[in-house]
Structure 1
Amino acid sequence: MSLISACCNRPPVKIEYTPKGEIFHLENGLRCYITGSKDSKAAIIHNYDIFNYHPNCFHAADIFAEAGFRVIVPDMFRDHPVKVEMLGDRQKIMARLIEVGMFPHLESDYKAVKAYLNAEGFDKIFLTGYCWGAKMCMALTASDSSYLGGALFHPSLLDEDDFKNAQAPMIIQPSKEDPDFTEWYQELTAKPFGKYCYLQVYDDMVHGFTSGRGEWYIP
């Protein structure tokens, strides 16, 4: 399990965006961003990358909301993300992720997020995630078969067991700087839901193109 070089060295873009949703806190103190109608037919738990609440993360959540979903973005790092100052030092970045970003330490918070959506009336819940967040999508489906599926954008930290243990279909979209996951992807397609899985490598994009390194302001 490791981060690719681009993830550890290239800073996020500086960009401005006005979120359409709101920030609130669950009963356990977990900060969350939520957007989209409560009357939506399904919900999404959107998992950010190592840079936490970057403007593009809110923008993507709002786009999913406009497509008809109720979207929640939990601050699983609890405001302790990887700092820009850590870039260039893979050991420091991994140490921070081990400290705040390993699934066994976060599982109770994820259960609280799911319980919140259930209380709003949502039993159809999908997962999306960038980079580190893609790893969380895989871990969530391995631990809970009720999630309907996941979309993984420029995934990082994945290993073969993630593919073997996933219990929901996955859309996987690596960049040219990421592993293409072709071999491990066969683990997904061999499952009963395999026909609903999809893999597309964006060989003209860099790692982070849908999140903190995406220059969305360029037409």
Structure 2
Amino acid sequence: MSQSHACCTVPPVVTDNYQGKGEYMTINGMKTYATGPKDAKSALLVVYDIFGFFPQTIQGADILAYGDKEKQYQVFMPDFFDGKPADISWYPPDTDEKGKKLGEFFSNQAAPPKTLERIPKVLEEIKSQRSSISEWGIVGYCWGGKIVNLSSQEGTLFKAAASCHPAMVDENDAPGVKIPFAMLPSKDESKEDVEKWQKAVKVKNIVQWWPNQVHGFMAARGDLKDPAVKSDYEKAYQLLLNFFHENM
């Protein structure tokens, strides 16, 4: 998995004020970022982190849409928090007040069942508008990584899944995963939790650690002005492109 396909090239990463290549549409009542060629047969659902639409996450969606010259993707990122994401100043939760606000957010807007029940409706509505789509993959960041784990179980609507610096990694989710799975933990993830998950997963999988990066480096918390972060951001997206190329 470390070698890069000739077909897959991460375009030059913009470090500041990134302007998305896509457009916004309404899907299942949610503002949804949509990017990639509208006639592409393969599509990816992106589940953002708790901070919602951020330039780094939108840039990631565009990289996934266009980075594989042989297989481009339609990519969709719905606003599952309906315009009320968490405030990025709450993280890291280094005060009681921040911890309380994050805890409340996770038990309300970010409670996984609320998002999971919307996903089939989202795919159905997109398919009604974009009939060229014949297969789906799913990518999630942080909180979205938990949604990805839970969306990859028996009866999944997806062919392949990737979970980037995932939150709430649970070995009990692993045996039920039914599709090829890539997990990209950062230095802030629990090594024990990830190792237990990997021991319990029964399908083709890759776990690639990013030991120098913080939780969120591929999404809202990625400081792309830092050359070391930018370099790993590029490498991590290269890995995702290769993974989906091989498994979709």
TM-score, structure 1 as length reference = 0.84
CA–CA distance in 2 between the matches of 1:130 and 1:78? 17
Cross-structure match for 1:201:
209
Matches within 5 A, 1:145-160: 145-160=156-171
- Listed one character per residue, the Cα deviations across residues 178-198 of structure 1 (whole Å, up to 9, x for unaligned) are 12311221221xx2xx2x310
Offset of residue 131 of structure 1: 0.3
Matching residue's letter, 1:42: S
> Which residue of 121, 126, 147 maps to 1:117?
126
Trace 1:1-219 onto structure 2 (pairs within 5 A): 15-26=16-27, 28-66=28-66, 67=68, 68-87=72-91, 88=93, 89-119=98-128, 120-121=130-131, 122-142=133-153, 144-180=155-191, 181-188=194-201, 191=202, 194=203, 196-219=204-227
Instruction: For 2:113 and 2:154, locate their aligned partners in 1 and report how far apart those are by CA, in whole Å.
Output: 10
Deviation at 1:143, TM superposition (A): 5.8
Residue type at the aligned position of 1:111: P
Q: Deviations over 1:62-119 (max 9, x none)?
A: 0011131100001111111111343432222021121111222223321221113332
Instruction: Please state how far the C-alpha of 1:127 moved relative to its aligned partner.
Output: 0.6
**Runs of 4+, deviation exceeding 4 Å:** none
Cα distance in 1, alignment partners of residues 48 and 134 from structure 2: 22
Partner-residue secondary structure (3-state), 1:18: coil
> How far apart, in 2, do the equivalents of 1:100 and 1:114 lie?
21
Distance 2:90 2:217 in 1: 20
Identity of paired residues, percent?
Answer: 28
Secondary structure in 2 aligned to 1:43? strand
Aligned counterparts of 1:19 and 1:144: Cα–Cα separation in 2 = 33
Q: How many residues align?
A: 200
5+ residue gaps, structure 1: 1-13
Q: Which residue of 2 aligns with 1:4?
A: none
User: Aligned-pair distance for 1:163?
Assistant: 1.2
State the distance in 1 between where 2:87 and 2:223 align. Answer: 20
Do the aligned partners of 2:140 and 2:163 also contact (CA within 8 Å) in 1? Answer: yes
CA shift, 1:123, in A, is: 2.9
